[in-house]
Amino acid sequence: MQFQWYPGHMAKAKRAMQEDLKLIDVIIELVDARVPFSSKNPDIDHLANGKARIMLFNKSDLADPARTEEWMAYYEKKGYFVHKINAKRGTGIKAVHEVIRTACREKIERDRKRGILNRPIRAMIVGIPNVGKSTFINSFAKKACTKTGNKPGVTKGKQWIRLNRQVELLDTPGILWPKFEDQKVGLRLAFIGSIKDELFHIYELSILLLEYLNQQYPEAVTDFYQIDNEKNPAKQLELIAKRRGCMKPGGELDVDKAAKYMVDDFRAGRLGTISLEVAEG
Protein backbone atom coordinates (compact mmCIF):
# COMPACT_ATOMS: atom_id res chain seq x y z
CA MET A 1 0.00 0.00 0.00
CA GLN A 2 1.24 3.47 -0.83
CA PHE A 3 0.37 6.24 1.53
CA GLN A 4 0.56 9.98 1.56
CA TRP A 5 0.32 11.83 4.85
CA TYR A 6 -0.90 15.33 5.49
CA PRO A 7 -1.00 17.11 8.87
CA GLY A 8 -4.79 16.61 9.10
CA HIS A 9 -4.33 12.95 8.34
CA MET A 10 -1.78 12.56 11.09
CA ALA A 11 -3.81 14.43 13.71
CA LYS A 12 -6.81 12.22 12.96
CA ALA A 13 -4.79 9.02 13.09
CA LYS A 14 -3.23 10.13 16.37
CA ARG A 15 -6.61 10.85 17.97
CA ALA A 16 -8.02 7.51 16.84
CA MET A 17 -4.97 5.75 18.19
CA GLN A 18 -5.21 7.52 21.55
CA GLU A 19 -8.78 6.29 21.93
CA ASP A 20 -7.90 2.72 21.00
CA LEU A 21 -4.88 2.68 23.28
CA LYS A 22 -7.14 3.27 26.28
CA LEU A 23 -8.55 -0.21 25.74
CA ILE A 24 -5.21 -1.92 25.38
CA ASP A 25 -2.79 -3.68 27.73
CA VAL A 26 -0.02 -4.45 25.27
CA ILE A 27 1.09 -2.68 22.11
CA ILE A 28 2.53 -4.86 19.39
CA GLU A 29 4.53 -2.65 17.08
CA LEU A 30 5.67 -3.97 13.73
CA VAL A 31 8.83 -2.62 12.20
CA ASP A 32 10.46 -3.55 8.91
CA ALA A 33 13.56 -5.57 9.78
CA ARG A 34 15.50 -3.88 6.96
CA VAL A 35 14.93 -0.42 8.51
CA PRO A 36 14.18 -0.87 12.22
CA PHE A 37 14.91 2.79 12.91
CA SER A 38 13.17 4.42 9.94
CA SER A 39 10.06 2.27 10.17
CA LYS A 40 9.60 3.08 13.85
CA ASN A 41 7.47 6.02 14.85
CA PRO A 42 8.67 7.79 18.02
CA ASP A 43 5.30 9.43 18.75
CA ILE A 44 3.84 6.12 19.76
CA ASP A 45 6.27 6.16 22.69
CA HIS A 46 4.47 9.17 24.16
CA LEU A 47 1.07 7.65 23.54
CA ALA A 48 2.05 4.26 24.93
CA ASN A 49 2.43 5.56 28.43
CA GLY A 50 3.67 2.67 30.53
CA LYS A 51 1.97 -0.15 28.62
CA ALA A 52 3.75 -3.39 27.81
CA ARG A 53 5.57 -3.07 24.48
CA ILE A 54 6.35 -5.74 21.97
CA MET A 55 8.34 -5.07 18.83
CA LEU A 56 8.06 -7.53 15.98
CA PHE A 57 10.73 -7.41 13.29
CA ASN A 58 8.69 -8.28 10.22
CA LYS A 59 10.03 -9.10 6.74
CA SER A 60 13.00 -10.67 8.48
CA ASP A 61 13.33 -12.87 5.38
CA LEU A 62 14.58 -9.78 3.51
CA ALA A 63 16.95 -8.37 6.14
CA ASP A 64 20.56 -9.17 7.00
CA PRO A 65 20.20 -11.64 9.91
CA ALA A 66 23.29 -10.36 11.78
CA ARG A 67 22.02 -6.76 11.66
CA THR A 68 18.57 -7.90 12.77
CA GLU A 69 20.08 -9.56 15.84
CA GLU A 70 21.91 -6.32 16.68
CA TRP A 71 18.72 -4.29 16.32
CA MET A 72 16.77 -6.72 18.45
CA ALA A 73 19.36 -6.41 21.21
CA TYR A 74 19.22 -2.61 20.82
CA TYR A 75 15.46 -2.41 21.32
CA GLU A 76 15.45 -5.06 24.00
CA LYS A 77 17.77 -2.83 26.03
CA LYS A 78 15.19 -0.09 25.64
CA GLY A 79 12.56 -2.24 27.32
CA TYR A 80 10.80 -3.91 24.41
CA PHE A 81 10.00 -7.57 24.16
CA VAL A 82 11.40 -8.36 20.72
CA HIS A 83 10.85 -11.13 18.21
CA LYS A 84 11.43 -11.58 14.49
CA ILE A 85 8.86 -12.87 12.05
CA ASN A 86 7.99 -13.35 8.41
CA ALA A 87 4.27 -12.61 8.36
CA LYS A 88 3.96 -13.55 4.70
CA ARG A 89 5.13 -17.12 5.21
CA GLY A 90 4.01 -17.38 8.82
CA THR A 91 7.51 -17.95 10.20
CA GLY A 92 7.85 -17.09 13.89
CA ILE A 93 4.16 -16.28 14.24
CA LYS A 94 3.23 -19.04 16.68
CA ALA A 95 5.89 -17.90 19.14
CA VAL A 96 4.23 -14.48 19.38
CA HIS A 97 1.74 -15.99 21.85
CA GLU A 98 4.59 -16.71 24.22
CA VAL A 99 6.03 -13.22 23.74
CA ILE A 100 2.66 -11.72 24.68
CA ARG A 101 2.44 -13.91 27.76
CA THR A 102 5.93 -12.87 28.84
CA ALA A 103 5.28 -9.19 28.17
CA CYS A 104 2.06 -9.30 30.19
CA ARG A 105 3.28 -11.50 33.02
CA GLU A 106 3.25 -8.63 35.51
CA LYS A 107 -0.26 -7.60 34.59
CA ILE A 108 -1.58 -11.16 34.81
CA GLU A 109 0.08 -11.49 38.21
CA ARG A 110 -1.36 -8.16 39.40
CA ASP A 111 -4.84 -9.20 38.27
CA ARG A 112 -4.46 -12.56 39.98
CA LYS A 113 -3.52 -10.93 43.27
CA ARG A 114 -6.60 -8.74 43.04
CA GLY A 115 -8.72 -11.82 42.44
CA ILE A 116 -9.34 -11.00 38.77
CA LEU A 117 -8.83 -14.28 37.01
CA ASN A 118 -10.47 -14.25 33.63
CA ARG A 119 -9.93 -10.78 32.28
CA PRO A 120 -8.35 -11.15 28.86
CA ILE A 121 -5.21 -9.32 27.91
CA ARG A 122 -6.01 -6.87 25.11
CA ALA A 123 -3.48 -6.29 22.38
CA MET A 124 -3.27 -4.00 19.40
CA ILE A 125 -1.07 -4.01 16.31
CA VAL A 126 0.49 -0.73 15.21
CA GLY A 127 2.96 0.25 12.52
CA ILE A 128 3.62 2.50 9.56
CA PRO A 129 1.96 1.67 6.22
CA ASN A 130 3.25 -1.35 4.29
CA VAL A 131 5.09 -2.84 7.24
CA GLY A 132 2.88 -5.94 7.08
CA LYS A 133 0.18 -5.29 9.72
CA SER A 134 -2.71 -6.81 7.76
CA THR A 135 -0.64 -9.78 6.67
CA PHE A 136 0.38 -10.36 10.28
CA ILE A 137 -3.15 -10.07 11.68
CA ASN A 138 -4.47 -12.51 9.05
CA SER A 139 -1.71 -14.97 9.69
CA PHE A 140 -1.74 -14.67 13.48
CA ALA A 141 -5.50 -14.80 13.86
CA LYS A 142 -6.10 -17.47 11.23
CA LYS A 143 -6.27 -20.40 13.58
CA ALA A 144 -7.77 -18.66 16.55
CA CYS A 145 -10.27 -16.62 14.67
CA THR A 146 -13.26 -16.04 16.91
CA LYS A 147 -14.44 -12.51 16.58
CA THR A 148 -15.94 -11.07 19.71
CA GLY A 149 -17.38 -7.78 18.66
CA ASN A 150 -19.30 -4.92 20.13
CA LYS A 151 -19.29 -5.69 23.81
CA PRO A 152 -21.60 -3.02 25.15
CA GLY A 153 -20.01 -0.34 27.22
CA VAL A 154 -16.50 -1.61 27.05
CA THR A 155 -15.56 -2.07 23.44
CA LYS A 156 -18.37 -0.36 21.60
CA GLY A 157 -17.91 -0.54 17.87
CA LYS A 158 -14.71 -2.51 18.14
CA GLN A 159 -14.05 -5.94 16.77
CA TRP A 160 -11.83 -8.18 18.82
CA ILE A 161 -10.26 -11.41 17.75
CA ARG A 162 -10.00 -13.88 20.58
CA LEU A 163 -6.61 -15.51 20.17
CA ASN A 164 -6.90 -17.88 23.13
CA ARG A 165 -8.37 -17.90 26.62
CA GLN A 166 -6.12 -15.10 27.74
CA VAL A 167 -5.62 -12.77 24.80
CA GLU A 168 -7.79 -10.64 22.56
CA LEU A 169 -6.50 -8.68 19.59
CA LEU A 170 -8.10 -5.55 18.17
CA ASP A 171 -8.82 -6.51 14.58
CA THR A 172 -7.96 -3.14 13.02
CA PRO A 173 -4.34 -2.06 13.28
CA GLY A 174 -3.23 1.42 14.27
CA ILE A 175 -1.56 3.18 11.37
CA LEU A 176 1.48 5.18 12.37
CA TRP A 177 3.07 7.88 10.29
CA PRO A 178 6.74 7.92 9.42
CA LYS A 179 9.27 10.55 10.53
CA PHE A 180 9.13 12.81 7.48
CA GLU A 181 11.42 15.48 8.86
CA ASP A 182 14.41 13.22 8.45
CA GLN A 183 15.43 12.98 4.79
CA LYS A 184 17.46 9.84 5.34
CA VAL A 185 14.37 8.17 6.72
CA GLY A 186 12.38 9.24 3.66
CA LEU A 187 15.02 7.85 1.36
CA ARG A 188 15.22 4.49 3.13
CA LEU A 189 11.44 4.17 3.12
CA ALA A 190 11.54 4.91 -0.59
CA PHE A 191 14.16 2.18 -1.07
CA ILE A 192 11.87 -0.40 0.51
CA GLY A 193 8.84 0.93 -1.39
CA SER A 194 6.87 2.42 1.49
CA ILE A 195 6.78 5.92 0.05
CA LYS A 196 5.32 6.77 -3.32
CA ASP A 197 7.90 6.28 -6.05
CA GLU A 198 6.82 9.56 -7.61
CA LEU A 199 8.44 11.43 -4.73
CA PHE A 200 11.82 10.23 -5.90
CA HIS A 201 12.87 9.81 -9.48
CA ILE A 202 13.45 6.11 -9.97
CA TYR A 203 16.84 6.69 -11.62
CA GLU A 204 18.11 8.79 -8.70
CA LEU A 205 16.71 6.30 -6.23
CA SER A 206 18.45 3.44 -7.96
CA ILE A 207 21.79 5.31 -8.11
CA LEU A 208 21.60 6.05 -4.37
CA LEU A 209 20.68 2.46 -3.59
CA LEU A 210 23.56 1.16 -5.71
CA GLU A 211 25.93 3.54 -3.91
CA TYR A 212 24.85 2.09 -0.59
CA LEU A 213 25.03 -1.51 -1.78
CA ASN A 214 28.45 -1.02 -3.37
CA GLN A 215 29.70 0.10 0.03
CA GLN A 216 27.89 -2.29 2.32
CA TYR A 217 27.01 -5.35 0.26
CA PRO A 218 29.21 -5.15 -2.88
CA GLU A 219 28.74 -8.80 -3.77
CA ALA A 220 24.97 -8.48 -3.77
CA VAL A 221 25.24 -6.31 -6.88
CA THR A 222 28.17 -7.91 -8.65
CA ASP A 223 26.95 -11.48 -8.14
CA PHE A 224 23.35 -10.93 -9.10
CA TYR A 225 24.02 -8.82 -12.18
CA GLN A 226 27.38 -10.40 -12.96
CA ILE A 227 29.12 -7.06 -13.36
CA ASP A 228 32.32 -7.80 -11.54
CA ASN A 229 34.56 -4.89 -12.27
CA GLU A 230 32.17 -2.00 -12.48
CA LYS A 231 31.75 0.04 -9.31
CA ASN A 232 30.25 3.21 -10.72
CA PRO A 233 26.46 3.20 -10.15
CA ALA A 234 25.61 5.03 -13.40
CA LYS A 235 27.73 2.60 -15.42
CA GLN A 236 26.35 -0.33 -13.46
CA LEU A 237 22.86 0.74 -14.50
CA GLU A 238 23.92 0.87 -18.13
CA LEU A 239 25.24 -2.67 -17.83
CA ILE A 240 22.05 -3.81 -16.16
CA ALA A 241 20.08 -2.16 -18.99
CA LYS A 242 22.16 -4.06 -21.54
CA ARG A 243 21.82 -7.38 -19.72
CA ARG A 244 18.08 -6.98 -19.36
CA GLY A 245 17.61 -5.68 -22.90
CA CYS A 246 16.18 -2.34 -21.74
CA MET A 247 16.08 -0.30 -24.94
CA LYS A 248 14.15 2.72 -26.07
CA PRO A 249 12.46 2.56 -29.49
CA GLY A 250 15.43 4.29 -31.18
CA GLY A 251 17.84 1.70 -29.79
CA GLU A 252 19.16 3.88 -26.96
CA LEU A 253 19.61 2.19 -23.56
CA ASP A 254 16.63 2.70 -21.27
CA VAL A 255 18.38 3.26 -17.94
CA ASP A 256 15.15 4.32 -16.20
CA LYS A 257 13.68 0.93 -16.95
CA ALA A 258 16.85 -0.76 -15.71
CA ALA A 259 16.65 1.39 -12.56
CA LYS A 260 13.12 0.15 -11.94
CA TYR A 261 14.20 -3.46 -12.38
CA MET A 262 17.10 -2.91 -10.01
CA VAL A 263 15.01 -1.33 -7.26
CA ASP A 264 12.39 -4.09 -7.67
CA ASP A 265 15.10 -6.75 -7.42
CA PHE A 266 16.20 -5.24 -4.12
CA ARG A 267 12.65 -4.91 -2.75
CA ALA A 268 11.82 -8.50 -3.60
CA GLY A 269 14.97 -9.78 -1.90
CA ARG A 270 16.53 -11.06 -5.11
CA LEU A 271 19.82 -9.35 -4.23
CA GLY A 272 19.97 -11.27 -0.97
CA THR A 273 19.25 -10.40 2.65
CA ILE A 274 20.12 -6.73 3.06
CA SER A 275 19.64 -4.23 5.88
CA LEU A 276 19.73 -0.49 5.38
CA GLU A 277 20.53 0.56 8.93
CA VAL A 278 23.03 -0.31 11.63
CA ALA A 279 22.13 -0.31 15.32
CA GLU A 280 24.31 2.02 17.37
CA GLY A 281 25.38 1.48 20.94
Shortest separation between residue 50's beta carbon and ligand G4P, angstroms: 25
Angstrom CA distances, 166 to 69, 95, 124, 136, 139, stand at 29, 15, 14, 19, 19
Which letter does DSSP use for residue 80 in this model? -
Count of residues in contact with ligand G4P, rule CB under 6 A: 16
Does 87 help bind ligand G4P (rule: CB under 6 A)? Answer: yes
As measured in angstroms, the least distance from the Cβ of 111 to ligand G4P is 31
Residue of the chain from 10, 23, 51, 88 that contacts ligand G4P (CB under 6 A): 88
Instruction: Please report whether residue 58 would count as binding ligand G4P according to CB under 6 A.
Output: yes
Q: Give CA torsion, residues 222, 226, 230, 236, to 10 deg.
A: -90
- When asked if residue 170 is in the footprint of ligand G4P (CB under 6 A), the reply is no
Piece in contact with ligand G4P (CB under 6 A), picked from 9-17, 104-112, 128-136, 141-149: 128-136
| Residue 133 binds to ligand G4P (criterion: CB under 6 A) | yes
Longest C-alpha distance within the chain, in Å?
79
Q: Which helix or strand (DSSP H or E) is residue 221 part of?
A: helix 218-225
| Segment near ligand G4P (CB under 6 A); pick from 17-25, 38-46, 130-138, 162-170 | 130-138
- Contact pick of 134, 155, 164, 172 for ligand G4P (by CB under 6 A): 134
Binding status of residue 132 toward ligand G4P by CB under 6 A: yes
Does residue 59 interact with ligand G4P by CB under 6 A?
A: yes
Least separation in angstroms between residue 62's CB and ligand G4P is 5
Report the alpha-carbon distance of residue 155 to residue 29 in Å, rounded: 21
Q: Where are the beta strands (DSSP E) in 90-231?
A: 121-127, 146-147, 160-162, 167-170, 174-175
Contacting ligand G4P (CB under 6 A), which of 100, 131, 240, 263?
Answer: 131
> Which residue lies nearest ligand G4P, judged by its C-beta?
132
Instruction: Give 115's Cβ-side CA count (13 Å radius).
Output: 0
Contact 28, 54 (CB under 8 A): yes
What burial class does residue 66 get, using C-beta atoms within 10 Å of its C-beta: 0-12 exposed, 13-18 middle, 19+ buried? exposed
Q: Is 148 in the site for ligand G4P (CB under 6 A)?
A: no
36 binds ligand G4P (CB under 6 A): no
Query: Of the two residues 35 and 255, which places its CB atom closer to ligand G4P in the complex?
Result: 35
Residue closer to ligand G4P by CB (options 29, 168) is 29
Decide if residue 129 touches ligand G4P (CB under 6 A): yes
Around 224, how many Cα atoms within 13 Å sit in the side-chain half-sphere?
22
- Taking the least distance from each CB to ligand G4P, the nearer of 134 and 214 is 134
Among residues 136 and 241, whose Cβ is nearest to ligand G4P?
136
Give the contacts of 14 (CB within 8 A, at least 6 positions apart). 43, 47
Q: Helix, strand, or coil here: 36?
A: coil
Q: What angle do CA 115, 121, 126 make, to 5 degrees?
A: 155
Q: Which of 39, 41, 68, 86 binds ligand G4P (CB under 6 A)?
A: 86
The residues binding ligand G4P (CB under 6 A) are 1, 58-59, 61-62, 86-88, 127, 129-135
